[in-house]
Amino acid sequence: MIKIADKNKLFYPFDKRPKDGELLKVSQSIYWLRMPLPIALNHINLWLIEGDHGFTIIDSGMSTDEAKNIWRNIFNGFISPKKIEKILITHMHLDHSGLAGWLSSELDIDPHFTQKEYNETQKIIGGMSDEQINSTLDYYRKCGYDKKSEDQFRERIGLRKSLSSNQVEEIILIKDGDALNLSDGEWRVIIVEGHSPEHACLYNEENNVFICGDALLPRITPNVSVNPISPDSNPLESWIESLEKIKSVIPNDALILPSHGYPYVGAHHRIDSIIENHFRKLESVLETITEPKNVTDLFPLLFKSEINEHTRVLAVGETMSHLNFLVSKGEINKTIDKNGLYSFSKN
């Protein structure tokens, strides 16, 4: 058992990380593969779990030539493709799922997926219909998109598709509470909502290891966005409830293997600080709405850096998730103002 000297601090058991495309052993049966990404968040951690008969791969990386070459190197050197038993994709975001279809057909393995995350990946690969694009843009206009932002949004649809490989034909469905026999033993599926619709985390009780995907990142808080197809939803509440659920299941001394950043110990402290951070933001949003505000009026309050075409979707989603939370609690009202924009005012 790892002791934490100060219960309010995270403890990082590894002082070095693998180089891009290389593996580092983090426990008797788990390898850490650092996969480079062609975006501002420049890497994702993938996990390879070894058992007596083979390996399970957790998450895939984005569909780039670089990532495919890294996988080919691994299959040519470290593990023969024949030794890979299972693939599990935690959630739909392209750094996690982009190569799921490619890996699945290269290895002839149906990946484990939750239903909602699988459905979302299929939507990305299939592209959006004109009707879906129009209703999505209708939402973003109410959130303050101008013509230029709309054009940039249309370009992003194509970009998302290009970072995803071929369709996953069949999956092995996983659900909350499932006990999965991955290569080295039993892993319990814990579903987290809010960051994406049905994000799978995995807990191995025997070894006290938690593969958290994007749920409990050590230094950054994952984006919690309102989905344009359900503009009145309250994902922030689902997210906070999910974090509390993790806290009730995972002990504070579990080794957390996150998708970005270094493995650490101190899950409860991290959960408390993520939740506190959201409540601080909610308070400051509420204090600012002394007169009606549009979505973009709140950007300077919520984000340190200038919002640009790359961060706009995330900024709108995150701002709306805090606003919808306050609307659901009856603290503020949401209406459409004379310019056709969402307007929020105190009740």
Q: Which is nearer to Zn ion, 34 or 93 (CB)?
A: 93
By CB under 5 A, is residue 34 in contact with Zn ion? no
d(CA 30, CA 39): 26
Report the residue number, 93 or 293, with the smaller CB distance to Zn ion: 93
Cβ contacts of 240 within 8 Å, gap of 6 or more: 194, 275, 278
**Nearest approach, Cβ of residue 93 and Zn ion (Å):** 4
Residue 195 CB contacts under 8 Å (≥ 6 apart), including other chains: 91, 214, 215, 222, 223, 224, 239
Min CB(214)–Zn ion separation in Å: 4
164 close to 101: Cβ distance less than 8 angstroms: yes
How many residues touch Zn ion (CB under 5 A)? 2
The residue (of 277 and 339) whose beta carbon lies closer to Zn ion is: 277
Kindly state the smallest distance separating residue 238's Cβ from Zn ion, in Å: 15
Query: Between 260 and 312, whose beta carbon lies closer to Zn ion?
Result: 260
CB of 259 to Zn ion, least distance (A): 7
Query: Scanning residues 65 to 94, which ones bind Zn ion (CB under 5 A)?
Result: 93
Sign of CA dihedral 97, 66, 128, 194: positive
Contact positions with Zn ion (CB under 5 A) in 92-111: 93
The structure tokens listed for 293 are 């505000």
Residue number of the CB closest to Zn ion reads 93
The closest of 164, 258, 183, 244 to 215, measured between CA atoms, is 258
State whether residue 130 is helix, strand or coil. helix
| Shortest separation between residue 226's beta carbon and Zn ion, angstroms | 15
Site for Zn ion in 157-216 (CB under 5 A): 214
Closest approach of Zn ion to the CB of residue 199, in Å: 7
Contact assessment for residue 180 and residue 192, using Cβ atoms and an 8 Å cutoff: no
List the one residue out of 2, 3, 77, 1 whose CA is nearest residue 33.
Answer: 77
Binding pattern for the stretch 206-245 against Zn ion, x by CB under 5 A and - elsewhere: --------x-------------------------------
Interface contacts to Zn ion, rule CB under 5 A: 93, 214
